[in-house]
Chain A
């Protein structure tokens, strides 16, 4: 009986290792590529752990290509789009949940089904007319296409699960709707807001398609900047892998740290941007 358990456990562990290995191998290989000199990256058979570590790949990324500027751009765009989405999306999620107008959230679902590119054509023309191209404003605004539905969707499903009794009690005591929201509903909803915040940040940070159309040389976000490295200089794998790793590292760290929230949010809303 006990032996059977051990065999079973080992078998399951093996299965899971098998399942995890593609992800694990990929990110280890990514790290390896980013730490090798060109001669090691061009070697056959491939080398996993080089004798000499090419730290200069990372140093090079930060020194060249306005990388710090693009980092700042990414933070402004993601931060702006996420904060704006929370400001309008959290109250909206509350209102929709309390009005039980969940059907109206269909718009959000359909928005999620729409390809990002089809928002891009009209908004590109609009931003051109408004003379906003060349600033970060168009990108912050268009990222709302991604972040607002995520926030609203998650907040609706969260506010639907929070108790009404406290809110009713506060209403009887003469609080206005806004006060009820601000002082009763909002504090309880903090975990939901955290989930909405994290997912909004990740999908905005990762967004690529809006940037390739709307960004000029000075307003690139990191994904666009990294992609441009590919076409710009003679392609050397080490620096390119280093840049790719730096771009995605914040998201990977967030994934590990906030795994529980991310999984809860994804299975509740099954949202994905872009």
Chain B
């Protein structure tokens, strides 16, 4: 679905797809069965059970009772939830747009012949593979208003010190900075895959027609990579919505509740207040929100996917 159509590991071209003729009989169930059991236990069971819990008044350590949709009705008037919904939207939009622009620019740069390209790419990719909690702790130190290195770097170029994650107005942009730093590489890799698939001919004819660099980008590169950009947008949207480690480790949703996203609120409700029934209702609504957004984006992608065979 969101797979970019590069094979996981290069196989020779002519072997790339099983040919249509040679059918093997479809009795491969024994191969799939163990995984099915695991998926059933750790993925399907939690889904069903979450829905059931969301219909109950259910707190850890006390009796449960069926309350129908009461938890969902409560959600609609829960100011803290609505506020967290707004934080989530803001955080997500910023965390999609910034990595998308920077990642595309990075992909264009990495698509050229560079000295030490492999090494540079390795360094570039490190932020997204590093342990989120570990980097969150270091970012917290860097954000420190008095002793942090970020305010020092700003002072070098004459910008006054910022409060970063310690002020309600700047906390979300500051967290987005971390998220962008972390996930721009993923966008870069996806777009780089798209760039590699573009043939040379259009550029050559554009060259003959006297197109400048911007025109080449606007009328050749951009349309060709747009399906890949949509993949990046979808993945980034899902991941930004779900973002937890960075926010929890740096601010725990604070100051106050200024950076409390749905995921953070869900955590508090379920594991600080142990109100798992209500927490489940939040989880269900959150999940539906993610699915809905993904479907909208997939629909947009289908409409954008008129170039390059990006089937899967």
Contacts and interface: CB of A to CB of B under 8 A. Distances in A.
Interface stretch (A52-60, A62-70, A202-210): A202-210
A192 B35 contact: no
A223 to B, nearest CB: 4
B133 A264 contact: no
B303 interface: no
A24 B181 CA distance: 11
Given A15-B109, A122-B49, A226 B134 contact: yes
A256 B28 contact: no
B138 A29 contact: yes
B208 interface: no
A42 B270 CA distance: 38
Nearest to B108: A15
Interface in A198-257: 202, 205-206, 208-209, 212-213, 222-224, 226-227, 230, 237, 240-241, 244-245, 247-248, 251-252, 254-256
B231 to A, nearest CB: 7
A37 interface: no
Interface string B255-297: 0000000010011001100001001100110110011001000
Given A168-B22, A274-B244, A117 B266 contact: yes
B260 to A, nearest CB: 14
B91 to A, nearest CB: 14
Nearest to B2: A270
A6 interface: no
Nearest to B144: A237
Contact of A270 (B16, B45, B115, B231): B231
A49 interface: no
A13 interface: yes
- The CB with the most chain B CB atoms within 10 A, among A84, A112, A224, is that of A112
A167 B106 CA distance: 42
A132 interface: no
Interface in B15-35: 15-19, 22, 24, 26-32, 34-35
A175 B49 CA distance: 43
Contact of A26 (B2, B24, B181, B263): B181
Contacts of A137: none
Contacts of A125: 49, 60, 276
- The CB with the most chain B CB atoms within 10 A, among A114, A160, A206, A254, is that of A114
B131 interface: yes
- The CB with the most chain B CB atoms within 10 A, among A202, A266, A272, is that of A266
User: What is the size category of the interface that chain A forms with chain B?
Assistant: 35 or more
Contacts of A256: 122, 126
A96 interface: yes
Contacts of B17: 160-161
B62 interface: no
A122 B124 CA distance: 38
B245 interface: yes
Contact of B287 (A12, A114, A165): A114
B189 A266 contact: yes
Interface string A139-162: 001101100100011100110111
A160 B11 CA distance: 10
Contact of A161 (B16, B30, B280): B16
A222 to B, nearest CB: 8
A158 B106 contact: no
A116 interface: yes
Interface in A107-153: 107-126, 128, 141-142, 144-145, 148, 152-153
Interface stretch (B68-76, B168-176, B235-243): B235-243
Contacts of A121: 46, 50, 53, 270, 276, 279-280, 283
Given A26-B127, A148-B35, A237-B141, A248 B135 contact: yes
Interface in B48-83: 49-50, 53, 60
A92 B34 contact: yes
B22 A164 contact: yes
A30 B10 CA distance: 36
A160 B114 CA distance: 33
A121 B275 CA distance: 10
A46 interface: yes
Interface string A14-32: 0110011011101101100
B247 to A, nearest CB: 11
- The CB with the most chain B CB atoms within 10 A, among A105, A122, A144, A251, is that of A122
Given A262-B125, A264-B10, 13 more contacts: A12-B112, A46-B147, A91-B32, A91-B35, A94-B28, A111-B39, A115-B263, A115-B266, A118-B283, A126-B45, A206-B129, A264-B9, A267-B189
Chain A to chain B: the 6 pairs with minimum beta-carbon distance, closest first: A95-B31, A92-B35, A118-B283, A95-B28, A244-B134, A268-B8
5 contacts: A107-B43, A121-B53, A226-B137, A244-B133, A267-B6
